[in-house]
Amino acid sequence: MEKCRDCNSILTKQETACYACGCAVKRKTEGAGLANNMVRVINVLLVVSALLTLASLFFSFTPTFTKCAFATLVLGIVKSSATQMAEREGK
Ligand SMILES: [Zn+2]
């Protein structure tokens, strides 16, 4: 459910301007879509990589622990910068 930032009236998804106060509706999903999608993908990769890191301690079918830990670390850095990007674009 979206609300107008100015008057708090409820907006439908098709509305591009608030019917109550006439202010233009700025949607969070627009513009931030790419960065948000990136964050989502990186999140998945990060979880997979973290699980692999954990698994590499116990199993031999995974890449070495060092490789997994390194990948997790890199993904963590990428994720934090992508999150920042998404926040900047969303504003
Ligand atoms: Zn309004």
Cα(64) to centroid of ligand 1, in Å? 56
Cβ-based burial of 31 (10 A; exposed 0-12, middle 13-18, buried ≥19): middle
Domain ranges for the chain, please list them. Answer: 28-90
Cα(27) to centroid of ligand 1, in Å? 13
Question: pTM for the whole thing?
Answer: 0.58
Cα(14) to centroid of ligand 1, in Å? 15
The per-residue pLDDT for 85 is 84
Q: What angle do CA 88, 25, 1 make, to 5 degrees?
A: 90
In angstroms, the CA 56 to CA 74 distance is: 17
Cα(1) to centroid of ligand 1, in Å? 14
CB atoms within 10 A of CB 53: 20
pLDDT digits (tens, 9 = 90+) for 33-84: 777 888 899 999 999 999 999 999 998 888 899 999 999 999 999 999 988 8
Can you name the residues that pair with 2 across neighbouring β-strands?
Answer: 11
